[in-house]
Amino acid sequence: MIKLNLGYTVDDIPLASYKEQVKTINEMINKKTGLGNDFLGWTTWPEDYDKEEFLRIQEAAKEIRDNYEVLVVCGIGGSYLGARAAIEALNGLFPTNKLQIIYLGQTLSSNYVCQVLNYLKDKKFAINVISKSGTTTETAIAFRLLKDLLIEKIGQEAAYKAIFATTDKARGALKTEADANGYRTFCIPDDIGGRYSVLTAVGLLPIAAMGSDIQAMMNGAKQAMLDFNNDDLFNNPCYQYACVRNYFYTHQKSVEMFVTYEPQFTQIGEWLKQLFGESEGKDHRGLLPTSVTNSTDLHSMGQFIQEGTPLLFETIIRVKEANYDLVMKNDKNNLDGLNYLEGKKLSFVNEKAFEGTLKAHSETGKVPNVVIEMEKMDEYHLGYLFYFFMRACAMSGYLLDINPFNQPGVEVYKKNMFKLLGKY
Ligand code: PA5
């Protein structure tokens, strides 16, 4: 399902030296004995997810598709990035679906918020508000504004019917409000943190609302769980990848650049940045995750990658099969000089850009390249890929000897902001 190609890593990476550590850590993950062990619910979630809730998610998704023009997904960080990554990866950036998804609650920008609210004025919309704590400022502000607009447009009763809340099963302001107003609610399990929650209702409801097959996604994740929950390092690409990351971190690299050649996978890069950045960036350790979308960014970042400060390695997510394609035609005047491509598919040209860049960066530039290959992008493969990265992130974090499941540092800005806003 996933092939890890280590043929372009410049160095010969001594994977065997990680064998014992991987064995110990894998047991720590499976037995839930490591740091942050009360947040390991995601490891077995593809098998023991709540089946009754899963059916309710599918029903709610159908109701949203059948009755509304727009679904506003209102959340931030782990409460929105996974859904957005999946929706764009599976549907593309110009989807033909009837339902449109709009994201709000991920910014305090009045420019963005006002424009979205203005756009929604004459749209039939539903809201999926997603917040585990139920108190995140960006999300809470956006939700209040959305709710007011909806009530103004269609009245309180219909508005409350159009609100779907994904939150903690018992605690928090959103849960209290949902119970008081009778919104449909979906649960974020106690033992699954935001950035590991894409396969819970957090991601599944919006993904299903767009018409994607979430059962196939869970099946893919389950296969990944079965493939990667073992310490057989030489047959486990997930842990090999984690060790490779650790090798580069301990050998003068401080940045991991995620690379895609598909604009519709750009948000997977955003999801990865949160997953690895928030999991590893603590105790003054961790690789800085960044991302580019090629060939677009070869025309902006390509120069630095090729010849700049040698601080990075690249991780390319390569999906072999294109969902859409076209063949280049002959032009009798050939003024643009492109007739040499006659009869070639556009996906073939993209593939050659990838191969040429791989060689340029790794051979000429001596920038290590790790290639993660998948045959195609569909729900099953994406579920598999999500789990691959989450498990690799847990292994990577433990290799760094940090807690991959907390995020103490994100509270500092909030405290300062609340003080400046006069909350306390
Ligand atoms: O990964 C995390 O924990 C964060 O990104 C949170 O998901 C984000 O801050 C949103 O939090 P909440 O779901 O409580 O609104």
- What is the tens place of the pLDDT at every residue in 322-350? 999 999 999 999 999 999 999 999 999 99
Do residues 315 and 385 lie in contact, with contact meaning Cβ atoms separated by under 8 Å?
Answer: no
User: How far is residue 227's CA from residue 236's CA, in Å, rounded to a whole number?
Assistant: 7
Q: How far is CA 386 from CA 8, 82, 353, 400, in A?
A: 23, 9, 26, 21
Atom 15, ligand 1: residue with shortest CA distance: 131
User: How far is residue 266's CA from residue 110's CA, in Å, rounded to a whole number?
Assistant: 25
Q: Which two tokens stand for residue 411?
A: 């509270």
Catalytic residue among 51, 52, 284, 299: 299
Q: What is the pLDDT of residues 31-45, one digit of tens each?
A: 999 999 999 999 999
- Compute CA 238 distance to the chain's CA centroid, rounded to the nearest angstrom: 17
Span 110-118, mean pLDDT?
98
31 carries an active-site annotation = no
pLDDT exceeds 90 at position 424:
no
What class does CATH assign to 3-33+218-399?
A: alpha beta
Helix (H) / strand (E) element for 101: namely strand 100-104
Does any ligand 1 atom lie closer than 6 A to the CB of residue 131?
Answer: yes
Catalytic residue among 98, 121, 414, 419: 414
Show me where the domains of the chain are located: 3-33+218-399, 42-212
Q: How confident is the model at residue 151 (pLDDT cuts 50, 70, 90)?
A: very high
299 carries an active-site annotation = yes
Do residues 101 and 210 lie in contact, with contact meaning Cβ atoms separated by under 8 Å?
Answer: yes
Q: Which two tokens stand for residue 186?
A: 């979906």
Q: Coil, strand or helix: which one is 103? A: strand
Q: What is the pLDDT of residues 270-322, one digit of tens each?
A: 999 999 999 999 999 999 999 999 999 999 999 999 999 999 999 999 999 99
Pocket test for ligand 1, best of 79, 141, 175, 198 (most atoms within 8 A of CB): 79
pLDDT exceeds 90 at position 252:
yes
Q: Where are the beta strands (DSSP E) in 179-300?
A: 184-187, 255-260, 288-293
52 carries an active-site annotation = no
* Fold matches, 3-33+218-399 and 42-212: yes
CA angle (89, 91, 93) in 5-degree steps: 80
Do residues 236 and 227 lie in contact, with contact meaning Cβ atoms separated by under 8 Å?
Answer: yes
Atom 8, ligand 1: residue with shortest CA distance: 77
Percent of the chain with pLDDT over 90: 98
Sign of the torsion formed by the C-alpha atoms of 24, 228, 191 and 285: positive
Which of ligand 1's atoms lies nearest the C-alpha of 139? 15
Q: Which CATH superfamily is domain 42-212 in?
A: Glucose-6-phosphate isomerase like protein; domain 1 (3.40.50.10490)
pLDDT exceeds 90 at position 75:
yes
Look up residue 195 and give its amino acid: R
User: How far is residue 51's CA from residue 53's CA, in Å, rounded to a whole number?
Assistant: 5
Looking at every residue in the chain, the average pLDDT score rounds to 97
